[in-house]
Chains A and B, each alone.
Chain A
Amino acid sequence: MSLNVFLQHCLTGISLGGAYALIAIGYTMVYGILRLINFAHGEIFMIAGYFMIFATANFGWAVGIPVTLIATVVLGVVVERLAYKPLREAPRMSIMISAIGVSYLLQNLTTYLFTALPKPYPEIPILKQIYNIGGLSASLVTFITPILTIILVFILVYIINHTKIGMAMRAVSKDFETSRLMGIKINKVISTTFVIGSALAAVGSILYFTDRMSVTPFSGTLPGLKCFVAAVIGGIGSVPGAVVGGFIIGICETMMIALGYSTFSDAFTFVLLIIMLLFRPTGIFGEKTIDKV
Chain B
Amino acid sequence: MKKTTRIILSIAAIAVLLAVLLFLQANERDYGMVITIIEKSAIYAVVAVSMNLLNGFTGLFSLGQAGFMAIGAYTFSILAIPASSRASVYYATGINPIIEHAELPIPLAMIAGGLMAALFAAVIGFPILRLKSDYLAIATLGFSEIVRAIIASPQMNTITNGSFGLKKIPEFPNLLTVILVAAICIAIMVLLINSSYGRAFKAIREDEIAAEAMGIGLLHHKQTAFIISSFFAGIGGAMLARFMRSIDSNTFKIALTYDILLIVVIGGMGSVTGSVLAAFLVTASKEQWLRFFDEPLVIGGVSVPFFKTGLRMVVFSVLLMVVVLFFRRGIMGQNEFTWEGLFGLFKKIPNLFKGKKKKEAI
Contact flag (A, B; Cβ within 8 A): yes
Task: Give the distance in Å from the alpha carbon of A97 to the alpha carbon of B143 in the complex.
Answer: 19
**B:320-341 near A, CB below 8 Å:** 320-321, 324-325, 328
**A:237-293 near B, CB below 8 Å:** 263-264, 266-267, 269-271, 273-274, 277-278, 281, 291, 293
Q: Is B261 an interface residue (CB 8 A)?
A: yes
Task: Give the distance in Å from the alpha carbon of A270 to the alpha carbon of B127 in the complex.
Answer: 14
**B:37-64 near A, CB below 8 Å:** 55, 61
Please name all residues of chain A whose beta carbon is closer than 8 Å to the beta carbon of B313 when the two chains form the complex.
108, 111-112
Tier of interface size on chain A: 35 or more
* Contact status A112-B314, CB under 8 Å: yes
Task: Give the distance in Å from the alpha carbon of A80 to the alpha carbon of B55 in the complex.
Answer: 24
B198 CB, nearest partner CB in chain A, Å:
19
CB nearest to B132 among chain A residues: A281
For A83, A101, A102, the residue with the greatest tally of chain B CB atoms inside 10 Å of its CB is A101
Please name all residues of chain A whose beta carbon is closer than 8 Å to the beta carbon of B106 when the two chains form the complex.
none
Q: Which of B72-80, B111-119, B146-154, B172-180 contacts A (4 or more CB under 8 A)?
A: B146-154
Task: Give the distance in Å from the alpha carbon of A271 to the alpha carbon of B146 in the complex.
Answer: 7
Question: 1/0 per position for B159-200, CB-CB distance to A under 8 A?
Answer: 000000000000000000000000000000000000000000
Q: Is B135 an interface residue (CB 8 A)?
A: yes
Task: Give the distance in Å from the alpha carbon of A247 to the alpha carbon of B40 in the complex.
Answer: 43
A263 CB, nearest partner CB in chain B, Å:
4
Q: Is B88 an interface residue (CB 8 A)?
A: no
Please name all residues of chain B whose beta carbon is closer than 8 Å to the beta carbon of A92 when the two chains form the complex.
133-134
Please name all residues of chain A whose beta carbon is closer than 8 Å to the beta carbon of B262 when the two chains form the complex.
100-101, 104
* Contact status B314-A105, CB under 8 Å: yes
Q: Is A94 an interface residue (CB 8 A)?
A: yes
B269 CB, nearest partner CB in chain A, Å:
7
* Contact status B254-A98, CB under 8 Å: no
Please name all residues of chain A whose beta carbon is closer than 8 Å to the beta carbon of B325 when the two chains form the complex.
82-83, 86-87, 98
CB nearest to A232 among chain B residues: B138
Checking B138, B269, B308, B321 against A105 with a beta-carbon cut-off of 8 angstroms, the contacting residue is B321
Please name all residues of chain A whose beta carbon is closer than 8 Å to the beta carbon of B310 when the two chains form the complex.
108, 111-113, 115
* Contact status B314-A94, CB under 8 Å: no
B interface majority secondary structure: helix
For B152, B269, B308, B317, the residue with the greatest tally of chain A CB atoms inside 10 Å of its CB is B317
Task: Give the distance in Å from the alpha carbon of A205 to the alpha carbon of B61 in the complex.
Answer: 30
Q: Is B102 an interface residue (CB 8 A)?
A: no
Task: Give the distance in Å from the alpha carbon of A149 to the alpha carbon of B189 in the complex.
Answer: 50
Q: Is B35 an interface residue (CB 8 A)?
A: no
**B:243-285 near A, CB below 8 Å:** 254, 258, 261-262, 265, 269
Q: Which of A125-133, A171-179, A221-229 contacts B (4 or more CB under 8 A)?
A: A221-229
Checking A83, A104, A264 against B153 with a beta-carbon cut-off of 8 angstroms, the contacting residue is A264
For A35, A90, A270, A293, the residue with the greatest tally of chain B CB atoms inside 10 Å of its CB is A270
Q: Is A37 an interface residue (CB 8 A)?
A: yes
CB nearest to A85 among chain B residues: B325
Task: Give the distance in Å from the alpha carbon of A264 to the alpha carbon of B148 in the complex.
Answer: 10
Checking A100, A109, A274 against B128 with a beta-carbon cut-off of 8 angstroms, the contacting residue is A274
Q: Is B17 an interface residue (CB 8 A)?
A: no
* Contact status A232-B320, CB under 8 Å: no
Task: Give the distance in Å from the alpha carbon of A273 to the alpha carbon of B79 in the complex.
Answer: 32
Q: Is B316 an interface residue (CB 8 A)?
A: yes
* Contact status B142-A105, CB under 8 Å: no
A220 CB, nearest partner CB in chain B, Å:
12
A288 CB, nearest partner CB in chain B, Å:
12
CB nearest to B141 among chain A residues: A225
Q: With A267-B150, A274-B128 in contact, is A90–B316 under 8 Å at CB?
A: no
Q: Is A156 an interface residue (CB 8 A)?
A: no
B362 CB, nearest partner CB in chain A, Å:
19
Task: Give the distance in Å from the alpha carbon of A281 to the alpha carbon of B136 in the complex.
Answer: 11
Q: Is A181 an interface residue (CB 8 A)?
A: no
Query: Chain A: residues with CB nearer than 8 A to chain B?
Result: 35-37, 82-83, 86-87, 90, 92-94, 96-98, 100-102, 104-105, 108-109, 111-113, 115, 221, 225, 228-229, 232, 263-264, 266-267, 269-271, 273-274, 277-278, 281, 291, 293
* A-B residue pairs in contact (CB < 8 Å), sample of 23: A86-B325, A90-B328, A93-B61, A93-B133, A93-B269, A96-B137, A98-B325, A101-B321, A112-B308, A112-B309, A113-B310, A225-B142, A228-B138, A263-B153, A264-B149, A264-B150, A267-B146, A270-B145, A273-B138, A274-B139, A277-B139, A278-B128, A281-B135
Query: Chain B: residues with CB nearer than 8 A to chain A?
Result: 55, 61, 124, 127-128, 131, 133-135, 137-139, 141-143, 145-146, 148-150, 152-154, 209, 254, 258, 261-262, 265, 269, 308-311, 313-314, 316-318, 320-321, 324-325, 328
A93-B269, A100-B262, A263-B153 are known; give 18 further A-B pairs, CB within 8 A: A37-B134, A37-B137, A83-B321, A94-B328, A101-B320, A104-B320, A105-B314, A105-B318, A108-B316, A111-B310, A112-B310, A225-B142, A229-B142, A263-B152, A266-B145, A267-B145, A269-B142, A270-B146
